[in-house]
Structure 1
Amino acid sequence: MRNLTLSFCYLDKDKSMANILSGCPVLETLTLFMFRGLPDPLDLSKSPSLRTLEIDCNSGTRINYRDQEPIKIVGPHIHNLILTCSEAPCTLVDVSSLTKANFDISIADRAFLLNTDFIQIMVLEMLAKLQNIERFSLGGIFLHILSLAEFRGVTFPTFKVQTLTVETKLVQSVIPGITRLLQNSPGLKKFKCGIEDSNLDSYLYVQGLNADQFLRSGYDEVFPTSDDFGWIMWNCRKEDMWKLLASFIRMVLRNGKTLETLVVGLQDINGFDDAKLFEELLQMPSALSNNNNVSIVLKR
């Protein structure tokens, strides 16, 4: 067996996972979704062929995260880690071979999001283990957490990332986090941004913070509030789209000093089936990239 997915499982904490792994000596991919009973730690050191680990710590993983120890991941042979947190805290103990990571935080559990310091510490400890990865993908809530950390003056590690991918709204409350990631990735070659219109304000909202105003100052470009972003996306006025995309592209070019390719995905935005509007937007990258060697691509 090379690929194994365990969904909606209750595992014997002391024996189940060890027995499964010992019976799969050539396992390459392990996916865990909606589970309970992982060993402490999740030790994958005796699975030398395991290259991809996906864990979705979704509803049902823990009864109460405050009463549980974090999921400790010992995976010295893993090259690709896909991790979604919503209720269970996670700790990366040994991921020394990791070259690719995809991290996101779900908003399924408001209680999980309420503990600002707890989540920020967890995220920053994860980042410290990712300094050697080459490809990094992260979602909007993760960017909100990084923005709040940047706002508080927290020190970020330097990364060896060559390809950085984000999925987010283009709103002012994620810009500090994106900016810091760009600045702390001196070897970055490719930056990919998928623009989405989902609700990303819960992390800040449940803490009584104004996601649309508290990070407004200190940046050259002015980005919309969440409400304004939604209005722009649904109305698809050419002038507003040009202004927003131009601001975002200029921000990325200014902070991504070694960037060679910038890809902006617009496929999840209402209205981009308008061929005429999209063709007009396609003219914008050439005007913005005249003074550098960055290839700018808009995708519908």
Structure 2
Amino acid sequence: METPTTRDSTLFPPGYGEVILQSNDGLVCHFPRYLLAYMSTSFRDKFELPIVESQAGNRSEGVYQFQMTVPGQILELFLVYIDPKHSKPPIDLSTIEALLEMAEEHKVPTITEWFIKKAIVEERSNDSTSSVVTGAFAATNVMLALHCSTRFNLPIVGQFALQEFAGCDISRISFTTSIPLWVYQAGMKLREERIRQYENLIEETTKESLRVLCDKCTPTCVRWLLTMQSELRKGPRWEVLERVIGLYPPDCHHVGRMSWKFVCTYTLTSSTLGTQIRAAELRLPTWPDLVKISSRT
């Protein structure tokens, strides 16, 4: 096999540090030994071993050299995330798994901790006048978050991802062998339970509305409730219900009749069942409990 042509990194050029790391495609990065040892217990142990020539690494005239098994893009990204002189870029869907894998291999907890924070916390724009909020990674990339949570044993990320799985639009759910079956089983159980709760709420609302509906308005109300049921099956979450409430058809104005729109709104938003649903959506499923749930199938 041909040896790749080497080239120096522009982010970590010669003179940046006394440790030389070369990627499997020939990118050469120079990095400070003290910082690499501080951030990575794996490299720290290598620096403490007796100096011997080997394929893994060697030392010549005070310089440590390591041949890495990752491509240059991942190597540079790994070093950027552990170097305080470089600003951390946002999560890249195409590289995050490889970055976490390298962090796990070389025992760099700061990268994993950074990912966990990005996965579960919404971010507001740095511009003080901006109201733009970026959703947490687990909410915007639910399937990849589930994969990473099981691949790298990150239960808290899994909890947030399963919470999103239970209520996201069905079009965002895909099936892949990289995610364990028990995760799908647990997520679908949560989702089915939430759909049942919403169907019970709609049934309760239907009964209440029938008390005040006139014959002319009954078909209109029923169509609206069926639309709500259909939308909630696609994405069982409270914000979907609120959106469909905003699509109310014209109300009944017949003399002597109570507004069925008022009755439906009150039942949907103020009933005990509605309150229970909102509270349930805010609770995180616990990872061990989900394992027990899946084992019963």
Task: Tell me if TM exceeds 0.5.
Answer: no
Higher helix share: 2
Q: Could you state the TM-score of these two structures normalised by the residue count of structure 2?
A: 0.29
Higher strand share: 1
Q: Highest Rg: 1 or 2?
A: 2
